[in-house]
Structure 1
Amino acid sequence: MRITNSMITSNFLSDMQNNLQNMQKIQQQMTSGKIISKPSDNPFIASRSMQLNSQLDANTQYSSNIKDASNWLDTTDTTLGQVGNALQRINELLVSTGNPGYSNDENQSVKDEINQIISGLSQTLNTNFDGKYLFGGTRVTVKPLGTTTDANGNTQLVYNKSDGNPLNSNAASDTVDAKQLNMINKKLSTEISQGVTMDYSVSAADVLKYKSEPSTAAKPTDLRDLLQSIVNHLDGKNADGSTPASGAASPTSLLVTTDLQGIQDATNNVLRLRSEVGAKSNRMKDAADSNDAQTQNLTTILSKTEDIDITQKTMEYATAQTVYTAALQTSARVLQPSLLDYLR
């Protein structure tokens, strides 16, 4: 087969174009730092890279969830500590009422202080964090608790409706009050890793409901009822506010027995809740450490998948440039540069 000058020229131009494309590709990889610039360069690497980036984005969200939940738990623990201090103060006041030298006026002073403590408990349990009420359950935009004043001028803790009015906690299950109370009782949860969710909130009901010791005793198991019982006993009345029957035991005698035990039970309940919050905080820290380690591993794998070896690419570019230069020099000798060369 006769090799013509046009065939040599055509092959030369094709080879030179390939050399230039190779140089361009290597140069683009060096400037971007990535092996591929579009999925068609290497579909497998592109798919793997997208998958790893997706996992990293998810880990970033998990990290944010863990951080927010940890801050929530820290604030909850601090608030529960304040509730515990308030109950401890009531405990001290009840012990003092057992002093035989206490007069009715002194009992009234104790009652007035306890009424103030009840108001303070309402404010404490309505603590707001990041625009949400800590103890509001899933109804985070409405204060869970409020206070009212009974006929005797005593302060009562009550659940709040969404409109701010007292909620009937004994309402039938199909009523609005019952549905809102159910929302207060629910816990908030968050996803801390793929497929793993964890609740991190404490509801107002968790704080107010406590276990009575002994459990068979006919005593209040709701802090609201217990506090109402205490102030009524300090007024010399029965737990429900009624006047005691003639010859019945003095209601004030119950302050250092039934009421005192109830406050201690409620205090123990708060301590139990703080212990649970502490355990959840530790779990969040472990989850954060695990998430950081996984993020680091994914970042390393992603780098190995899509990042170039700059030393290797520098050598490849130098080689491609040498080949290109040699091809130019060779073609200058082989190709006829002009028509005059054919006429000689």
Structure 2
Amino acid sequence: MRVTQSMLSGNMLRNLNNSYGKMSKLQDQLTSGSKITRPSDDPVIAVKGMGYRRDLAKVEQYTRNMITANSWLDSSDESLNQVGEQMKRVRELVIQAANGTNTPEDRDKIKKEIDQIRQQIQDVGNTNIDGSYIFSGTNTNQPLFTPVAGGGKEINPNLNAADKGVNIEIYDGIQIQVNTPGKDLFENINDMMGKISDLLGDPSKNGEELGDMLGGVSSSSTNDDITTMHNKILEAQADIGARQNRVEMMENRLGIREVNVTKQLRDNESVDYSKAITEMVTNESIHQAALSVGAKIIQQTLVDFIR
């Protein structure tokens, strides 16, 4: 096959263009720190990168969900802890009121404090987080207690799903209940407080009947006494604590997943600088050699050609 001058020129220019392309790609990698700057550079790396970024986006969303879950659980625990502390004070007041030596004025003072504690517990039942009532089941837009004619509050009669749980997804396919339906618990406590108040306001009721409200082994428990209510509060707090521990474990798991996916994304896309620099230097040397050899092979003028 006859090799002409135009063939030499064409081959040299084509090879030089390829060399420029390789150096341009390596320069882009060194500048951006990534193996690819567009999906067409390496579709496999691009598709894997999309998957890793999708996983990181899910991790970010689950992290936000866990912040919400912790907010609900912490608030529920703190609220029930307040109610538990109030139950201790109610016990002290009932023990004091059960003493037969109290005057009507003494009983009236105790009654007033009991009524204030009852209102405080109702306010706790209406605890609101970012516009959501945490003890109203799935009726998060409605308070647990609503005002009634003549003063005071009662359980909201419009709560249709007050015993339902509010679930939040905290991992792939894993949901956790973040609320504590409080309708039954707060209603029972509210009724018990009302009964104690009525006993204190009735002069015909003696200390023994008030003592029965204490509950426990030594009294005739009626399942609506102070001991029973306090135990129910502690049971609810124990349940919240278990869910808090579960969220904490899932947070650790999510943190490990984030670290692993971030490493996979880095290994998939990040350029190996030592390797890229070595290839860049090698390609520059080859390119310069090609330019030098090409200048000698290809004659630049007719005089050089016929000499």
Please give the per-residue CA displacement for 1:83-112, whole angstroms capped at 9, x wherever unaligned: 111122111111112211113332222211
Q: Which residue of 2 aligns with 1:54?
A: 54
RMSD: 2.0
The CA distance in 2 between the partners of 1:107 and 1:20, in whole Å, is 97
Q: Which residue of 2 aligns with 1:333?
A: 296
Structure 1 residue runs of 4 or more that deviate by more than 6 Å after TM superposition:
none
TM-fit CA distance, 1:62: 0.8
Instruction: Please identify, of 38-47 and 78-87, the stretch whose mean Cα deviation from structure 2 is larger.
Output: 38-47
Q: Which residue of 2 aligns with 1:181?
A: 160
The CA distance in 1 between the partners of 2:149 and 2:87, in whole Å, is 20
Structure 2 SS opposite 1:72: helix
Structure 1 SS opposite 2:284: helix
Please list every run of 5 or more consecutive structure 2 residues that lacks an aligned counterpart in the other structure.
216-220
The CA distance in 2 between the partners of 1:109 and 1:149, in whole Å, is 25
Query: Residue 93 of structure 1 contacts residue 110 of structure 1 at CA under 8 Å; is this kept in 2?
Result: yes
Query: Residue 52 of structure 1 contacts residue 302 of structure 1 at CA under 8 Å; is this kept in 2?
Result: yes
Query: Residue 136 of structure 2 contacts residue 183 of structure 2 at CA under 8 Å; is this kept in 1?
Result: no
Structure 1 position 68 matched with structure 2 position 68? yes
TM-fit CA distance, 1:46: 1.3
TM-fit CA distance, 1:193: 0.7
The CA distance in 2 between the partners of 1:8 and 1:190, in whole Å, is 70
Taking the TM superposition and a 5 Å limit, the aligned residue runs for 1:96-135 are 96-135=96-135
Q: Which residue of 2 aligns with 1:191?
A: 169
- Among 196, 200, 208, the residue aligned to 1:230: 196
Q: Which residue of 2 aligns with 1:216?
A: none
Q: In the comparison of the two structures, how many residue pairs are matched? A: 299
TM-fit CA distance, 1:251: 6.4
Please give the per-residue CA displacement for 1:246-273, whole angstroms capped at 9, x wherever unaligned: xxxx465322114645111111111111
Q: Which residue of 1 aligns with 2:287?
A: 324
Taking the TM superposition and a 5 Å limit, the aligned residue runs for 1:186-225 are 186-205=164-183, 207-208=185-186, 222-225=188-191
Q: Which residue of 2 aligns with 1:253?
A: 208
Q: Which residue of 2 aligns with 1:172?
A: none
TM-score, normalised by the number of residues in structure 2: 0.90
Q: Which residue of 2 aligns with 1:86?
A: 86
TM-fit CA distance, 1:14: 0.6
TM-fit CA distance, 1:156: 5.2
TM-score, normalised by the number of residues in structure 1: 0.81
Q: Which residue of 1 aligns with 2:249?
A: 286
What code does the residue aligned with 1:158 have? E
TM-fit CA distance, 1:75: 2.1
Query: Residue 167 of structure 2 contacts residue 178 of structure 2 at CA under 8 Å; is this kept in 1?
Result: yes
